[in-house]
């Protein structure tokens, strides 16, 4: 994608623009703007260590603005998603996809929306911290078998004429 003179003199896209793009990639109607904005800011900070990546993101956002016909903030998320589908094979899209999936889903507000209680390693693990409080799951069906007695089946081992039970007995000796 080439840069026109008007695009080259346009102000650099903002974190808000990038946040809107991330929302179009990972739409969650009930997720506030905060996680998207923090994700955008983290990506903008991360790409500053690589002039190439910074150029990819900035040029990609400018191109996206051009394709959207103006300010990204005025384009609906669905329309922006349609435009992004045309860009899905570009380095810009891959960069945003791989970066924002990590930054967005590492945000505690996103965890809360999705029902994830967060990491438990620093709290001693999940076992004694409400591991069994999954009230949104159905009660497990646990019943005891009360039918005919079952027979033990020992499948034959190919190439060996001895039943598996006999091998287990021999190994135990």
* Structure tokens that stand for 167 in this block: 């091998």
Residues of the chain with pLDDT under 50: 1-8
| pLDDT score of 167 | 53
Q: Choose among 24, 158, 50, 173: nearest CA to 104.
A: 24
| pLDDT score of 130 | 65
Torsion of CA 91, 31, 71, 60, to 10 degrees: -10
d(CA 16, CA 39): 10
| pLDDT score of 105 | 95
Q: What is the pTM of this model?
A: 0.67
| pLDDT score of 58 | 92
CB environment 2-41: b (16+ within 10 A), e (fewer)? eeeeeeeeeeebbbbbbbbbbbbbbeeeebeeebbbbbbe
d(CA 150, CA 145): 10
| pLDDT score of 74 | 86
d(CA 168, CA 64): 66
């Amino acid at each position: 994608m080439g840069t026109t003179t008007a695009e080259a003199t346009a102000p650099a896209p903002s974190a808000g623009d990038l946040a809107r793009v991330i929302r179009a990639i990972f739409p969650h109607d009930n997720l506030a703007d905060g996680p998207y904005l923090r994700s955008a800011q983290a990506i903008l900070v991360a790409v500053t260590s690589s002039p190439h990546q910074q150029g990819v993101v900035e040029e990609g956002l400018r191109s996206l603005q051009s394709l959207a016909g103006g300010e990204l903030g005025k384009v609906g998320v669905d329309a922006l998603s349609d435009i992004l589908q045309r860009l899905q094979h570009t380095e810009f899209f891959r960069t945003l996809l791989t970066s924002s999936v990590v930054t967005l889903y590492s945000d505690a507000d996103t965890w809360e929306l999705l029902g994830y209680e967060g990491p438990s390693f620093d709290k001693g693990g999940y076992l004694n911290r409400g591991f069994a409080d999954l009230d949104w799951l159905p009660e497990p069906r646990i019943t005891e078998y009360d039918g005919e007695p079952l027979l033990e089946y020992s499948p034959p081992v190919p190439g060996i004429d001895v039943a598996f039970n006999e091998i287990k007995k021999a190994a135990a000796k």
